[in-house]
Amino acid sequence: MLVSETASEFDITTTYHKFLHDDPEITMPVAAIESLVTLLSLTRPQTSSELVTVLTKASATLKENVRNSVSLSAGCDLFLRFVLRSTQDTANWEACWKHLVDNGKLFLERARKARQEIAKLGSRFIRDGDTILIHSMSRTVTSLLFHALERNVRFQVVVTEARPDGKGVAIANILREKGIHVALISDTSVVWAMDKIDKVFVGAEGVAESGGVINYIGTAQIALMAKGAGKPFYVVAESHKFVRLFPLSSSDLPGENSSLQFTSDISSSIQAPDIDFTPENLITSIITDIGILTPAGVSEELIKMWYD
């Protein structure tokens, strides 16, 4: 394998974190794809199998070194599938490598534009006078809200505090700076607020094969309350966050400790998992860059991505 001196010194994890640091708007899977595209441009393998080995090893390194890597894994796996499909039945390897580098950048650009497409589609779900509940920080959800605002739709937003990291406070301030009226509530007040809202919008760390959603802790509880109150629960997610996982509950999620830790130590800290799983039967629709899907439609789209 011919590898440039720059490629031999390439640190995929450092590169990934640099992309996230330099662009506050970038998502984890897009940063992962951009890191792999950068590695692809630096590496000159002699065969497609050598290239796949390099990219697979880099993907594994990212997954091992980044916490809560569900969405990152989705980006890595989708890009690797793109590479595998692109290297099939190639006679001229040099031309194939150049094609991969060029098209890898186009693949990345499409992934970056996904949020804009979702904002256009999703803003149609917001009507004049709506009161919307959102949970935690999702750039895709905020883009959707801003797009509705640009269309002169009048609405107001209820934002959960989103403990334990409290990102709801930050997102409430961002929305207020845009002139959107916001009510910031504690997570324990969601059931009280449910009869005062019209619909719920949440983002996603990943969308499972079942159509269920992996997202910030507390999402599943909100979905359950919305279902009981008869309120629409919309998930807003880029198609590059579709993951080949089939969890049945939050305990099945990668890296999650399913056991409660009991102790008599008064100095012990609160248990606070980062993500949970919302089953498909609690979700009204999934708004994506490839269209509006029912949860049942996700598996079909995954089949297209991986096998078409």
**Residue type for 244, please?**
R
Structure tokens at 110: 């499409």
> Does 248 map to a domain?
yes
How far apart are alpha carbons 144 and 125 in whole angstroms? 10
Whether the Cβ atoms of residue 67 and residue 16 lie closer than 8 Å to each other:
no
Question: Which residue range forms the structural domain that includes residue 26?
Answer: 2-113
Domain co-membership, 140 together with 251: yes
The dihedral built from the CA positions of residue 136, 139, 140 and 142, taken in this order, carries a sign that is positive
Residues 250 and 135 in one domain: yes
Clarify whether residues 95 and 229 are in a common domain.
Answer: no
249 and 278 inside one domain: yes
Note whether residue 119 is domain-resident.
no
Q: How many domains does the structure of the chain reveal?
A: 2
In this prediction, residue 3 carries a pLDDT of 45
Are 150 and 250 contained in the same domain? yes
CATH of the domain at 71: 1.20.120
Single residue among 113, 147, 181 that ends a domain in this structure = 113
Distance CA 282, CA 80 (A): 31
66 and 109 within one domain: yes
Has residue 148 been placed in a domain?
yes
For the chain, the maximum distance between any two Cα atoms, rounded to a whole number of angstroms, is 67
Contacts of 263 (CB under 8 A, 6+ apart): none
Burial of 207 (0-12, 13-18, 19+ CB in 10 A): buried
User: Domain check: are 181 and 275 in the same one?
Assistant: yes
- Which pLDDT score, from 0 to 100, does residue 1 have? 43
Residues of the chain with pLDDT under 50: 1-5
State how far the alpha carbon of 200 is from the alpha carbons of 14, 137, 211, in Å: 36, 14, 17
Other Cβ atoms within 10 Å of 108 Cβ, number: 19
Do the beta carbons of residue 68 and residue 205 sit within 8 Å?
A: yes
* Residues 206/71, Cβ–Cβ less than 8 Å: yes
Bridge-partner residues for 216, per DSSP?
275
Q: Give the CATH number of the domain where residue 201 resides.
A: 3.40.50.10470
Last residue of a domain, one of 113, 140, 165: 113
Q: What is the dihedral of CA 42, 46, 49, 52, to 10 degrees?
A: 0
Phi-psi region of 294 (alpha: psi -120 to 50; beta: other; left: phi over 0): beta
Same domain, 302 and 219: yes
The pTM (predicted TM-score) of the whole model is 0.84
Residue 157: strand pairing partners: 132, 182
8 Å CB contact between 63 and 12: no
Q: Are residues 216 and 157 in the same domain?
A: yes
Residue 291 lies in a domain: yes
Burial class (CB in 10 A: 0-12, 13-18, 19+), 69: buried
* Residues 141, 8 within the same domain: no
Among 156, 300, 135, 277, smallest CA distance to 207 is for 277
Q: Is residue 143 part of a domain?
A: yes
User: Within a domain: residue 28?
Assistant: yes
DSSP state of 285: E
193 SS3 class: helix
Q: Domain end: 56, 85, 113, which one?
A: 113
273 and 161 in one domain?
A: yes
Which amino acid would we find at residue 188? Answer: T
Domain presence at residue 121? no
In a domain, 146, yes or no: yes
My answer on whether 85 and 140 are in the same domain is: no
